Amino acid sequence: MEQARRPLTGDVYRHFKDRLYEIITIAIHSETEEEMVVYRQLYGDFLTYVRPLSMFLSEVDHEKYPQEKQKYRFELVREERKETQPDEILIQFLDAKGATGKYKLLDEYEGKLDDRMINNMAISVDLVIAEGPIEQRLNELKECLRTKARFECTRLR
């Protein structure tokens, strides 16, 4: 395999059907020891997938898709290894000044938050966010923070 094309955590790839995916990690299959790519879609519900590394790096089947111009099934779009990691986002959220600061942080990282982060953020401000689509859960957390922000500066202590 070409070492130069090996995906790294945080890299963003475009599938030949024009959808973006972020690499989470390379894992080893417990039975076959085959390398597997663990990646997340960067649209919709941000679902997570696993695919053999060899298949991930393979070329598009141009007999099946003759009009396709992209050479490989997945092609690197940009390298994101310096991007803020999920735990760093949570720490920034915990350190943010008041509900307004936390709300601004949610806006900044929208699309990069997962269910676990939303749960942890909600717990840190004494909220419980109902299960559901991630966009709905994020909006509920933001609405609660917006409400808290309205009363933060005017309340006597």
The tens-digit pLDDT sequence of the chain (157 residues) is 455 678 888 889 999 888 899 999 999 999 999 999 999 999 888 899 999 999 999 988 878 888 888 888 899 986 554 455 667 888 888 888 889 889 998 988 888 888 888 999 999 988 888 888 989 999 999 999 999 888 876 555 5
What pLDDT is stored for residue 84 in this prediction? Answer: 52
pLDDT at 1: 45
Q: Residues 135-138: contacts with CB within 8 Å, 24+ apart? A: 138/106, 138/110, 138/113
Q: How far apart are CA 44 and CA 109, in angstroms?
A: 16
- pTM for the model stands at 0.48
Q: What is the DSSP string of 48-69?
A: EEEEEHHHHTSBP-TTTSTT--
The residue out of 44, 78, 112 marking a domain boundary is: 78
**CB burial class (10 A; 0-12, 13-18, 19+) of residue 154?**
exposed
Residues 57 and 7 in one domain: yes
Distance CA 42, CA 22 (A): 7
Edge-to-edge strands of the sheet including 74-78?
48-52, 35-41, 20-28, 12-15, 74-78
Q: Could you list the residue range(s) of the whole structural domain that residue 135 is in?
A: 86-152
Burial class (CB in 10 A: 0-12, 13-18, 19+), 14: middle
Assigned domain for 98 exists: yes
State the residue for tokens 């720490």: 91
Task: Clarify whether residues 95 and 115 are in a common domain.
Answer: yes
Residues 57, 103 within the same domain = no
pLDDT value at residue 153: 65
In a domain? residue 13: yes
Looking at the structure, tell me whether residues 7 and 67 fall in a common domain.
Answer: yes
pLDDT of the residue at 5: 76
Whether residue 157 lies inside any domain: the answer is no
Do 12 and 73 fall within a single domain? yes
Contacting residues for 124 by C-beta, under 8 A, at least 6 apart: 93, 94
CB proximity list for 135: less than 8 A, separation 6 or greater: none
Q: How many domains does the chain have?
A: 2
In-domain check, residue 67:
yes
Number of other residues whose CB lies within 10 A of the CB of residue 7 = 22
Under a CB-based contact definition with an 8 Å cutoff, are residues 96 and 102 in contact?
Answer: yes
* Residue position matching structure tokens 């309205």: 150
